[in-house]
Amino acid sequence: MTPVVSFTGFLVAFAWLSLSNALYFHIGETEKKCFIEEIPDETMVIGKYKTQLWDKQTASFLPSTPGLGMHVEIKDPDTKIILSRQYGSEGRFTFTSHTPGEHQICLHSNSTKMALFAGGKLRVHLDIQVGEHTNNYPEIAAKDKLTELQLRVRQLLDQVEQIQKEQNYQRYREERFRMTSESTNQRVLWWSIAQTLILMVTGIWQMRHLKSFFEAKKLVGYMRGERTTTTTFLVIFPPPELLSELPLMETRLLSKLPLMETRLASI
């Protein structure tokens, strides 16, 4: 008796997990709602929805909305449309992913075809099941006449297969992230090299521009020619009679340098 209770509890937990993606949202006239679902490749997805129209008289949502349709459009990660179909007020859509990544699921109502909904509000209950959650195990057990143990093994095998698909998808995402990181690092490196070259070229140009400016003002020639040559001549070849007067002459020359520089700058 204990195994039966345990297996029943497992089925209840599994049923609760399979409905964990259920939600509802409100949609207005000509409004479109889209959802993004990350799905591995070769994975079945089943979506179920039900619409409820807002009734102004009773101030509540009607249990059913006959005549109101819902258009479902599904795009793969490459923005290719893999499903585009018009359903009724309550429906079920199924598709299998062939490319891993983010799939876009969009829904919008045919409000323009129904005057009752014009200017109203619609509640949509949506349940999306992915992978092994799409399997109806009680139906499979009844169809294939499986025992409790066989059904449990079948369920575990499906879960292992789904885990492998998830792992492959995570490796795919990791590889894409690594390629993006390497590309970003390479761009940063080349940008740093370009900045360094620009700074070097700018520095060289500024030095040459300043040199030509000082040469035009005759400051470089004076500093390198007259003053340096005179000082060098006095230091290397001093006349014997001027050895005692050398400090006094140097002091006089230094005192006259500002006046000479001012005159040269005004030329």
The answer to whether residues 114 and 67 touch, using CB atoms and an 8 Å cutoff, is yes
Name all domains of the chain by residue range, CATH numbers in brackets: 2-134 (2.60.120.680), 217-266 (no CATH)
- In the chain the beta strands, taken as DSSP E runs, fall at 23-27, 32-39, 43-55, 60-61, 70-75, 81-87, 90-97, 101-109, 122-130
Answer whether 0.85 is exceeded by the pTM: no
Of 105-114, 189-198, 234-243, which gets the smallest average pLDDT? 234-243
Tens digits of residue pLDDT in 207-216: 888 888 777 7
d(C-alpha 42, C-alpha 106), whole Å: 21
Query: Is the pLDDT reported for residue 233 higher than 50?
Result: no
Query: Is the pLDDT reported for residue 23 higher than 80?
Result: yes
Tens digits of residue pLDDT in 73-87: 999 998 899 999 988
Residue 16 pLDDT: 40
Could you tell me the two tokens for 9?
């509890």
Residues 254-261, mean pLDDT to the nearest whole number: 62
The answer to whether residues 137 and 14 touch, using CB atoms and an 8 Å cutoff, is yes
Query: Is the pLDDT reported for residue 3 higher than 50?
Result: no
Mean pLDDT of the chain: 75
DSSP lists the bridge partners of residue 8 as none
Half-sphere exposure of 95 (CA within 13 A, CB side): 23
Between these two residues, 244 and 171, which has the higher pLDDT value?
Answer: 171
| CB neighbour burial string for 168-194, b if at least 16 within 10 angstroms, e if fewer | ebeeeeeeeeeeeeeeeeeeeeeeeee
The answer to whether residues 25 and 109 touch, using CB atoms and an 8 Å cutoff, is no
Query: Is the pLDDT reported for residue 54 higher than 80?
Result: no
Of the candidates 235, 229, 226, the residue with the CA atom closest to the CA atom of residue 263: 226
d(C-alpha 4, C-alpha 151), whole Å: 13
The residues, ordered by sequence, that sit 6+ positions from 44 with a Cβ below 8 Å of its Cβ are: 94, 95, 96, 130, 131, 134
Q: Alpha carbon of 31 to those of 113, 125, 185, 233: distances in Å?
A: 14, 16, 42, 95
Query: Is the pLDDT reported for residue 117 higher than 90?
Result: no
- Give the pLDDT band (50/70/90) at residue 6: very low
Per DSSP, the three-state class of 174 is helix
Per DSSP, the three-state class of 126 is strand
